[in-house]
Structure 1
Amino acid sequence: MTLATASDAPTRWNARFAHLGDAFGTPLAPRPLPAPYWVGQNLPLARQLGLSNEWMASNDALAVFSGNRVPEGSAPMATVYSGHQFGVWAGQLGDGRALLLGEWDTPLGPQEVQLKGAGLTPYSRMGDGRAVLRSSIREYLCSEAMHALGVPTTRALCITGSDAPVRRETVETAAVVTRVAPSFIRFGHFEHFSHHDQHAELRLLADFVIEHFYPECAQVPGNPYAALLQAVSERTAVLLSHWQAVGFCHGVMNTDNMSILGLTIDYGPFQFLDAYVPGHICNHSDSAGRYAFSRQPNIAYWNLFCLGQALLPLMDDQQQALDALESYKTVYPDQLFARLGAKLGLLEVDDGDRALCEDLLRLLAQGRVDHTIFWRRLSHAVASGDREPVRDLFVDRDAADGWLARYRERIASQGAEPTGRHMLQTNPKFVLRNHLGELAIRAAQTKDFSQVAQLLSLLQSPFDEHPDVESHADFPPDWANQIEISCSS
């Protein structure tokens, strides 16, 4: 992407995915957003992508990111995929309200640019192709919060809004969120071609992914598609270890919402845990609790199994796929306990530390202890030696004291005290709690977008103290329990 002057739009576009052929989607221009206006701009990300502040402030940028002008050189398209939703085969799905504009060459490497909420596509089914302001703000804030926490994720560049009405449970207003990622290819893309016996397209897609994102799979002995499945399994295991360690609930882990690159994708009814409740269900639509917090790692494996089934036509036999999936079972727990060990300030994690971590999680669950506040207070306790604020979080003080004694003994055994400073850069003070997002949304619905900007800035440095907004790190108010997030957006 080249910006010759501050007023120039991005001019260097690639369309590698579109060049795969007509079977992969439908060329389609976005539907204009009536009378658009800016809701939020992620200027730090814009600069990382090579976009100037001046261009981002221009009417040209507003038009491009609202879907009102198709950038010269881009090749907008809606991609087709299928998938399992809530464990049931849902058939053909696809980009029902998102359009892939194309791909930029940026200082971060090639990045696909997608407009979410850009209007009807051939895959909209019964939908209207639009996104509402509420859900767009949640995705915008959370994808950047996750990035700042070190969690693999798609990114959000900006939001534009409009007074155009959109009907959900009530009448809301429309918005478009621009998101970027190296690729938006999902497990469901592979399921689509496999299910329809389009094996040539399936191989073409797999070869594309290997060439551009997993080149090492082409070099290993044996079947490259089995190697791809193993590599995706291991990236997904790493992703889930991040989610569980930071207390993130995705809410709708359908196979069409799983990234082939191991990224967090499709922020819908997500939530960061307040109280540590392993069975917490953040999606009001998930009446059976399929995507409860504690079930996420197993659901990820189930989804990988579906991906393995989709790739079977490219493999020698079923056992090859099963073998490729096997490493998930070791990579996930190893990565999780490594992350929990880092949160505890352990320099190395050994087998005995798993019991320390597991007992802590049980203790947190029994007391419904606030997840983020516990880890932050523990970090301060290590720095100051004052453990009373940690003990105050537990009703069962004796149990807490017993665990803390074991923890002190384990810390002493490693011969070097963890520094509180290091732990404070591992355990965030701020996460995007539901009530914080809700307050920003309510203000935005009155055209006050200042809270969206302030919250974005805060979430981009979640480990800093920010004493001016101390209340954002406090326990959630009682009314936060009444917030219901569903698949409707």
Structure 2
Amino acid sequence: MGSLPKESTQDKQAVLPLVPGRFVQLGSRFFTKLMPTPLQAPPKWVAVNKSLAKELGLDDHFFDSKQVLLALAGNGSVDKDSANECDANDEGVNGQTYYGHTPLATVYSGHQFGAWAGQLGDGRAILLGESLDQYGEWQEWQLKGAGKTPYSRFGDGRAVLRSSIREYLCSEAMYALGIPTTRALALVTSEDKVYREEVETAAIVTRVAPSFIRFGHFEHFASLGDTASLKQLADFVLMHYYPECVEQENAYAAMFAEIVKRTAELIAHWQSVGFCHGVMNTDNMSILGLTIDYGPYGFLDAYDAKHICNHSDHQGRYAYQQQPYIGHWNLVRLANCFVPLVSQESLIAILNTYRDSFEQKYLALFRQKIGLQQAHPTDASLIHDMLSTLQPYQVDFSLFFRELAKVKLSSLDENGQVQIPSSLSALFKAHHLGNFQRWFSLYIKRLQQENSDDNRREQAMNRINPIYVLRNYLLQQAIEKAEQGDFSEVNRLQQCMADPFTEKQAFADYAQEPPLWAAEICVSCSS
């Protein structure tokens, strides 16, 4: 999966297996057709995703074609003769490939950090088209970092290597964790320079998803009072992505209810693995309940409910513990868009289902994380108390659950004395475990009540609790090597995160607590 393709001198006529896509049916009010801005320096692969390529029905040699490399670098043309005049195997800067149709950038609006930001749009993303995957489902292909669009505002439309590595790797890491997400097919770079706080290297990620439609697409037309376009968009999403809702008494209400449920369950998944999105603006919320737009994200190292992963988030709006509430806030903004289509009473009633959907999924996931087989009225307090005991000790969130899986029912003897395993207590870095010891005693008693089997419980817990997560310090190490032209650590991380639950000796260094310097890593909206 992580190995880079060999460059081939064959297939000069290779093109991407794409059609313009269904989004084009919506009409010009929804997008602008344009070509990506070609990279000036010769592009090269950083990483490719052969596993996803197989799911997309691509052949084993797809990435070997220089034409494919050019296409996914944004160096494409809709003029076949012009593209064919260029030698795609020439290392010069003018090589092109044939797209077959003109790509597009979509328009949307949104709320950013709680304030209305007005018109936004695909400022550095360009939709190449769609293809059918091996399951018969349509998948959109999008280049992120492919140059300026009419929606770039004051930006250059480019992405830098460090942020592109972060998006590429986390898209696939989240997928392997079983969390709904956009995917990443390939990562390309060149020597083109991009100007941020300092001069950096350009890169382009090929993103894949059933749709990249966001809450912000609806907000855009609602803000303009363009009910006709709003309804057209709703009908489009309903027909293509929520067909099961079409026959309901009010199809729009049924669709909105499903969006609420998917969003609530998505954020419950985030909380269960300690994932912090960092920028939960409405324009970064998927209408399909996917994790989208990996910017200043982070996975919890030491457990901290108030952790802020985005250094641009000065007020802590998107802190870890705030994510469930912000999910609801964003859905209220979306509900306002549905007012022309659904009664306010129905919208309010649907919004009121959010909390139950979140809590049910959250409790179900955390029961699995701590090895419980049965639901019990005290589960919420048991889980809350567990997390509360971790906070003051700065216990590593991911490693805690892996060590908890190893405990035995015999940890609590017949006299009620509890013995915490040394490998678990070592995570607390303290001599007196106080509240945790009391919690641990209650936990073992609960397991005993269920007649829990130690071996089966450990296996089940290890199937949901990852031993490897994409920590910021691991990303930083990979980025620093990549910026020197060494992509080996990017590909090694990709290989490891493809199976985050199975412990492997080859990746033992990834299963450690982070070094002290990891706390100093600064990740902001420019990341």
TM-score, normalised with respect to structure 2: 0.89
- 2:52 pairs with 1:45: yes
Q: Which moved more, 1:474-483 or 1:64-73?
A: 64-73
Map Cα deviations across residues 224-273 of structure 1 (whole Å, 9 max, x no partner).
Answer: 22222111000001100000000000000000000000000000000000
Indicate if the aligned counterparts of 1:250 and 1:267 stay in contact, CA closer than 8 A. Answer: yes
**Consecutive unaligned residues in structure 2, runs of 5 or more:** 1-9, 78-97, 412-419
Q: Secondary structure at the match of 1:426?
A: coil
Indicate if the aligned counterparts of 2:390 and 2:436 stay in contact, CA closer than 8 A. Answer: no
- TM-fit CA distance, 1:384: 10
- 2:470 pairs with 1:423: no
Match of 1:276 in 2: 303
**Consecutive unaligned residues in structure 1, runs of 5 or more:** 1-5
Indicate if the aligned counterparts of 1:377 and 1:389 stay in contact, CA closer than 8 A. Answer: yes
The CA distance in 2 between the partners of 1:137 and 1:56, in whole Å, is 18
Indicate if the aligned counterparts of 2:147 and 2:156 stay in contact, CA closer than 8 A. Answer: yes
Match of 1:3 in 2: none
Find 1:401's aligned residue among 431, 437, 452: 437
Q: CA RMSD in A?
A: 1.5
- 2:516 pairs with 1:470: no
The CA distance in 1 between the partners of 2:171 and 2:408, in whole Å, is 30
- TM-fit CA distance, 1:484: 0.4
The CA distance in 2 between the partners of 1:425 and 1:232, in whole Å, is 28
- TM-fit CA distance, 1:382: 4.8
The structure with the larger Rg is 2
The CA distance in 1 between the partners of 2:246 and 2:351, in whole Å, is 18
Percentage of identical aligned residues: 50
- 2:385 pairs with 1:364: no
- TM-fit CA distance, 1:54: 1.2
Match of 1:318 in 2: 344
Indicate if the aligned counterparts of 2:409 and 2:447 stay in contact, CA closer than 8 A. Answer: no
- TM-fit CA distance, 1:74: 4.2
- TM-fit CA distance, 1:282: 0.5
1:332-481 matches, within 5 Å, as 332-382=358-408, 387-394=421-428, 395=430, 396-417=432-453, 418-481=456-519
The CA distance in 2 between the partners of 1:428 and 1:74, in whole Å, is 42
TM-score, normalised with respect to structure 1: 0.96
Indicate if the aligned counterparts of 2:328 and 2:354 stay in contact, CA closer than 8 A. Answer: yes
Match of 1:289 in 2: 316
Match of 2:38 in 1: 32
- Aligned pair count reads 482
Q: Secondary structure at the match of 2:329?
A: helix
Q: Secondary structure at the match of 2:427?
A: coil
- TM-fit CA distance, 1:389: 1.3
Match of 2:417 in 1: none
The CA distance in 1 between the partners of 2:409 and 2:214, in whole Å, is 43
Q: Which moved more, 1:110-119 or 1:26-35?
A: 26-35
- TM-fit CA distance, 1:327: 1.0
The CA distance in 2 between the partners of 1:283 and 1:112, in whole Å, is 28
- TM-fit CA distance, 1:398: 2.9
The one-letter code matched in structure 2 to 1:398 is G
1:27-426 matches, within 5 Å, as 27-34=33-40, 35-70=42-77, 71-108=98-135, 109-221=137-249, 223-315=250-342, 317-382=343-408, 387-394=421-428, 395=430, 396-417=432-453, 418-426=456-464
Indicate if the aligned counterparts of 1:133 and 1:172 stay in contact, CA closer than 8 A. Answer: yes
Q: Secondary structure at the match of 2:168?
A: helix
Find 2:27's aligned residue among 7, 13, 21: 21
Which runs of structure 1 show a deviation greater than 6 angstroms over 4 or more consecutive aligned residues?
A: 383-386
Change (3 A) 1:205 1:302: same
